[in-house]
Amino acid sequence: MAKAPIKKKKINIKGIVAILVIIAIIVSSIILLTKKGTKEKQDQAPVETYKTEDDGTKFNTSEKLKETKNFNGYEISNIVLKEIDEEVEFSAKIKNVTQNSIGNKSIYVVFKTQSGQELYKMEVYLGEIGPEKSTTINSKITKDVVGAYDIELQF
């Protein structure tokens, strides 16, 4: 009986290299995407938006909240949020920046977190405001909005 010759399998080195390159690309892509997601989360780290005084009074310190905002002919500025004994005092200057009288309507002040989530929506009635005239809103709120990052006006 003659022995059958043993066939040696020829290893395809080009195929193995191609597979290793594909695996390396996939692994590096996963690592890069993971690092990018971590960086985005770090960029959106919560901003401390209030400080507490020794007497327990909290004052909003958000730079975004301090910005002047424009909304349908209204300019809102000088926004102040402070909490005393679990009651938040809100005040702001509202100016009519049009050449016509506006007002005699309700608007909503929407308090928002840094991620844009709504904390509370407060209705405010504005009397008539003449052209280039302003008024001040003063309100007390029993909702915890002293840490709001920003506000938005809505009808």
Domain contains 1: no
Are both 142 and 100 inside the same structural domain? yes
Residue 104 lies in a domain: yes
Asked if 89 and 104 sit in the same domain, the reply is: yes
Please indicate, yes or no, whether residues 68 and 91 belong to a single structural domain of this protein: yes
pLDDT tens for 60-78 read: 999 999 999 999 999 999 9
Report if residue 6 sits inside a domain: no
Residue 97 within any structural domain of the chain: yes
Structure tokens given for 148: 């709001």
* pLDDT at position 11: 67
Q: Are 26 and 10 in contact (CB under 8 A)?
A: no
Asked if residue 138 and residue 114 are part of one domain, the reply reads yes
Q: Does 131 reside within a domain?
A: yes
pTM for the model stands at 0.69
Task: State the distance between the two ends of the chain, measured CA to CA, in whole angstroms.
Answer: 99
Low-confidence ranges of the chain (pLDDT < 70): 1-11, 37-46
| Amino acid 45: pLDDT | 59
pLDDT at residue 57, as a whole number: 94
Return the pLDDT at 48.
81
Does some domain include residue 33?
yes
Q: Residue 125's domain is classified under what CATH number? A: 2.60.40
pLDDT of 110: 95
What H or E segment, with its residue span, contains residue 153? strand 150-154
Q: Is residue 4 part of a domain?
A: no
Range of the domain at 27: 11-45
In this structure, are 37 and 103 located in the same domain? no
pLDDT for 96: 94
Q: What pLDDT does 133 receive?
A: 94
Residue 3 lies in a domain: no
Per-residue model confidence (pLDDT) at position 16: 85
Number of domains in the chain: 2
- Indicate if 40 and 54 belong to the same structural domain: no
